[in-house]
Structure 1
Amino acid sequence: MTHVRDMDEADIEAVSRIRVRGWQAAYAGLVPGTHLDAMTVEDDAARRRQWFSRPGRTSRDLVAVADGRGPVGWLCYGPPPAGAPDPAGSGEVYALYVAPDLIGTGVGRRLLEEAHHRMRAEGFTASALWVLAGNERALRFYERSGYEADGRTQDDVYDEVTLTELRYRRPL
């Protein structure tokens, strides 16, 4: 049985492990291997501790917890980044990762449904997120969850390779 709750500081190591392993599994063949190989749980956890304890942080973190296993998924959401040209009332899912051995078991869906529920309760009327072009599994997942590409793109550079992200949106 898996349930979703707010992330707390004790979850940081598990969330970093989920995020790093998630990147390495989901982005193999898309993001340069040198970048993926350089990722470590320890470095991610150190950055996450700083970020998690930042005063005035407006993002929210959720974890999916499996009985007897601890956190097996993580989602972070909140308002669009400062300066983003989003309509009033829009929120953004910044990240969603599931332990690679549990992808396709409903953990990600439960996290996303809970995030949508909380976003509506916080007054958001729409949700946006960014998906790496070519990440077909993620694109199918978000499309099944009611998201549609809105035509916006942004580029990120990983080890001198430019990759494009596509923005997806859905009403809440």
Structure 2
Amino acid sequence: MTEADIEAVSAVRVHGWQTAYRGLMPQAYLDAMSVAEDAEQRRSWFGRRSPEVSDLVAERDGAVVGWVCVGPARDPDIAPGAEELPAPRPTAGELLALYVAPALIGTGVGRALMAAATARARAHGFHTLYLWVVRGNTRAERFYERAGFAPDGAEEAYDVGGSSVPELRYRRALAPTAG
């Protein structure tokens, strides 16, 4: 992903939310989502992100049709004991986002992005990869389970437009890269 891709990535993300989370989040919140506002936030974040965060896009005929982001684990319980080591290199990564243009869901774009994100996570030295899925998003749950992820028992809820939205954490081990 380059800075020039930000507007297209924001469009994929916003339309992805509006499609995937219909009935799982307040409709007023989804309807109010703005590609321009998302792109503005993404531009601000883009230049400050850690070098261990990878944003990758999928393109068809030169147009961005999918986006994935992977980086170091943010949940403190994923790498027990790491906080006791001096400046540890993270051994766990997090799939922070994976969105495909709604019209292209089921065409292999998501699988290609997952493969690229997994390869990037391995290249960063991550041994485990985890992600959060909105409870009830059965399409995403099936997709991640086919990719080797399984729920690990952790659950969280966050506020979206005044409603509590529950999420489930999924995790999978990564085989080390041959080298």
Report the TM-score when normalising by structure 2.
Answer: 0.88
Aligned residues: 164
Question: Which residues of structure 2 form unaligned runs of 5+?
Answer: 80-89, 175-179
> What amino acid maps onto 2:77 in structure 1?
P
CA distance, structure 2, for counterparts of residue 55 and residue 18 of structure 1: 20
Match of 2:38, SS?
helix
Q: Secondary structure at the match of 1:54?
A: coil
* Paired letter, 1:122: H
2 CA distance for matches of 1:74 and 1:53?
A: 17
User: Which range moves more in the overlay, 131-140 or 114-123?
Assistant: 114-123
Does structure 1 residue 73 correspond to structure 2 residue 66? yes
User: Paired residue for 1:63?
Assistant: 57
The root-mean-square deviation of aligned C-alpha atoms, in Å, is 1.2
Structure 1 residue 84 displacement after superposition: 2.2
Amino acid at match of 1:98: V
Moved over 4 A (4+): none
Query: Does residue 1:157 correspond to 2:136, yes or no?
Result: no
- Name the % identity: 54
Contact 2:54 2:120 in 1 (8 A): no
1:12 partnered with 2:6: yes
Larger radius of gyration: 2
Q: Which digits, 9 at most, give the CA deviation of each residue in 1:117-145, with x for residues without a partner?
A: 11112111110000000000000000000
TM-score (normalizing by structure 1): 0.92
Q: How far has the Cα of 1:58 moved from its partner?
A: 3.7
Residue equivalent to 1:136: 138
Q: Deviations over 1:7-34 (max 9, x none)?
A: 0000000000000000000000101001
1:45 paired with 2:47, answer no
User: What residue number does 1:106 align with?
Assistant: 108
User: Which runs of no fewer than 5 residues in structure 1 stay unpaired?
Assistant: 1-6
- Per-residue CA distance 1:104-161 (angstroms, 9 max, x = gap): 0010100001111111121111100000000000000000000000000111111221
